[in-house]
Structure formats: C-alpha cells, structure tokens
C-alpha cells in the first residue's frame, strides 16, 4: 500500500478561507448595544424619581423643583379641565396646591377628589406630568397607608358623606 501524498493539482489542499467581517454585522451589534443601553437607562431614571407630597416640593431634600419627581396629592374639586388633548388640574396636599398639566387623558377612574401620583417635572409654577397613577396596589397600601389616609383626609366635600 502506497501512503505517499498525491501531488496532482486536483488533490491540492484548498487555501484557507479568509473570514469576512461585514460592516452590516458590526452595525447591527452596535445598534443592539445602544438600544439596550437606552432601555436600561430609562428604567434606572424612573427608579430614582423621588416621591414627594405636594407640600414637600422645594422644601425636602430630593424634592427640588429642577429634577424629575413624583408628586402625591388630591385632585382639587372644580379644577379638572380637558382641552385639545391635554388635561389640567390642581393637586393639593396639606394646603399646598400645585397646578398640573398632563398631555392626554389620564383615563381609568381619574376624577376630582381622589389621591393621585403625577410623574414629571416642575416647569415654572406648573408641574408637567407624563404619567398619572390613580390606584395604589395592595402592597403600596400596606407600606404607605398613612400617605393615602393623609391625602384622603383632605378630600373634597362630595366624597365625605
């Protein structure tokens, strides 16, 4: 048996393939990393919004007017107005009132005389909200029942009776 390698051109080993890294692959990977970073930063940003009662804005540390915060208070009776896709109302807590503007319709059970939490920024004398929470979960009630009780204690005349 002859074990010598063949040397004909038909049996010559192929040259190793050069790996092509396409720019498309690199661009797609970079886009995925950037998109992931944006999503993570949005979650982290909303996680550090300070929770303040309306009377604490500009008074308590973390409730500075120049940062994104969450404000709790009761929607004042007679203050709710909707026009041109925007909802405006005033929010009060411990006799301090803040005017709120929300682009859109808060929906759900949103109405006057109920405690709500508005997420956003204070711009001048108006709080520009991009999210409104009306209902509190049972877990929230268990941990912060005193906050809701305090807000409801100042509720409108139509709710007390």
Q: Give the DSSP H or E segment for 60.
A: none
- In this structure, is residue 85 part of a structural domain? yes
Domain count, the chain: 1
The angle formed by the CA atoms of residues 146, 127 and 130, to the nearest 5 degrees, is: 85
Specify the pLDDT at position 155.
54
pLDDT tens per residue across span 8-27:
666 656 666 666 668 888 89
Specify the pLDDT at position 29.
93
- In this structure, is residue 36 part of a structural domain? no
Q: Contact 53/93 with Cβ under 8 angstroms?
A: yes
3-class DSSP assignment, residue 85: coil
- In this structure, is residue 118 part of a structural domain? yes
Averaged pLDDT for residues 86-93: 91
Q: What is the DSSP letter of 66?
A: T
How many angstroms separate the CA atoms of 153 and 53, rounded? 14
- In this structure, is residue 115 part of a structural domain? yes
pLDDT of 160 over the 50 cut: no
Q: Mean pLDDT in the chain?
A: 79
pLDDT of 76 over the 60 cut: yes
How many angstroms separate the CA atoms of 100 and 131, rounded? 11
pLDDT tens per residue across span 130-144:
988 886 555 555 666
Q: CA 83 → CA 7, 9, 101, distances in Å? A: 87, 83, 11
- In this structure, is residue 137 part of a structural domain? yes
- In this structure, is residue 32 part of a structural domain? no
DSSP 3-state percent helix, strand, coil across the chain (nearest 5): 30, 30, 40
- In this structure, is residue 106 part of a structural domain? yes
CATH of the domain at 107: 2.40.50.140
pTM to 2 decimal places: 0.58
Question: 136 is in which domain, residue-wise?
Answer: 50-159
């Amino acid at each position: 048996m002859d074990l010598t390698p063949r040397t004909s051109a038909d049996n010559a080993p192929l040259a190793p393939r050069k790996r092509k890294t396409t720019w498309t692959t690199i661009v797609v990977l970079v886009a995925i990393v950037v998109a992931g970073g944006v999503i993570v930063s949005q979650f982290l940003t909303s996680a550090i919004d300070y929770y303040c009662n309306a009377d604490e804005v500009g008074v308590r540390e973390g409730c500075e007017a120049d940062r994104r915060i969450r404000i709790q208070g009761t929607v004042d009776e007679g203050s709710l107005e909707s026009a041109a896709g925007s909802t405006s109302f005033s929010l009060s807590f411990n006799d301090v009132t803040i005017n709120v503007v929300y682009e859109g319709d808060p929906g759900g059970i949103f109405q006057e005389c109920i405690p709500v939490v508005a997420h956003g920024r204070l711009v001048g004398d108006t709080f520009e909200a991009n999210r409104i929470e009306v209902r509190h979960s049972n877990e929230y009630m268990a941990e912060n029942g005193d906050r809701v009780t305090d807000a409801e204690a100042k509720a409108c005349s139509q709710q007390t009776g």
